[in-house]
Amino acid sequence: MCNPAVVMIAGSLIQAYGTDQEGKAQSKQMRYQADISKSNAAFVGQEAGIIAEQGQVERQNVDLRADILRGQGLSGIAESGFEVGSGSALTWDIELAEAAARDKQTIQYQTDLDVEQKRQEQKNYLAEANMLRRGAGNIKSSASLSATGQVVGGSARALK
Instruction: Tell me the residue range of the domain where 137 lies.
Output: 4-158
CA dist 151 and 144 (Å) reads 11
Q: How many CB atoms lie within 10 A of CB 31?
A: 17
Which among 34, 46, 40, 30 is positioned nearest to 128, based on CA atoms?
A: 34
Q: In a structure prediction context, what are the per-residue pLDDT tens digits for the chain, which is 160 residues long?
A: 577 777 677 777 777 777 778 888 888 899 999 999 999 999 999 999 999 999 999 999 999 999 999 989 888 888 888 887 788 888 988 999 999 999 999 999 999 999 999 999 999 999 999 999 998 888 877 777 676 777 677 666 766 6
125 close to 37: Cβ distance less than 8 angstroms: yes
CA neighbours closer than 13 Å in the CB half-sphere of residue 23? 19
Burial class for 109, CB neighbours closer than 10 Å (0-12, 13-18, 19+):
exposed
Q: In angstroms, what CA-CA distances link 63 with 70, 75, 96, 109?
A: 10, 18, 11, 16
Number of domains in the chain: 1
What's the pLDDT at 155?
67
Q: Which residues are CB-neighbours of 51 under 8 A, at least 6 positions away?
A: 111, 114, 115, 118
What CA–CA distance (Å, rounded) separates 11 from 40?
43
